[in-house]
Structure 1
């Protein structure tokens, strides 16, 4: 599953979900690299 995390004030990374951490952060993988950050909330559609 592809997920997006923020790793800084202005940087977000989109990659394959690896795991959730106990402190609420998430790990995603891009190629061989793993990035840790806070998950981005999903957009809510309105009719």
Structure 2
């Protein structure tokens, strides 16, 4: 499943969900790199 994370104030990464850390951050994989950051909340219109 694709997830989007924020790894800085202006940098977001979208990739395949790998796992969740104990501090609430999640890991996503893009090609051969794994990134860790806070998940961007999903906004769904009413």
Classify the TM-score, shorter chain.
Answer: over 0.9
Q: Deviations over 1:1-47 (max 9, x none)?
A: 0000000000000000000111000000000000000000011221x
Tell me, in whole angstroms, the C-alpha distance in 1 between the residues paired with 2:38 and 2:21.
10
* TM-score, length basis structure 1: 0.94
Larger Rg, first or second structure (1 or 2): 1
2:17 corresponds in structure 1 to 17
Q: How many residues align?
A: 46
Q: Over aligned residue pairs, what C-alpha RMSD do you find?
A: 0.5
Runs of 5+ in structure 2 lacking a partner?
none
Runs of 5+ in structure 1 lacking a partner?
none
* TM-score, length basis structure 2: 0.96
Where in structure 1 do 4 or more consecutive aligned residues deviate above 2 Å? none
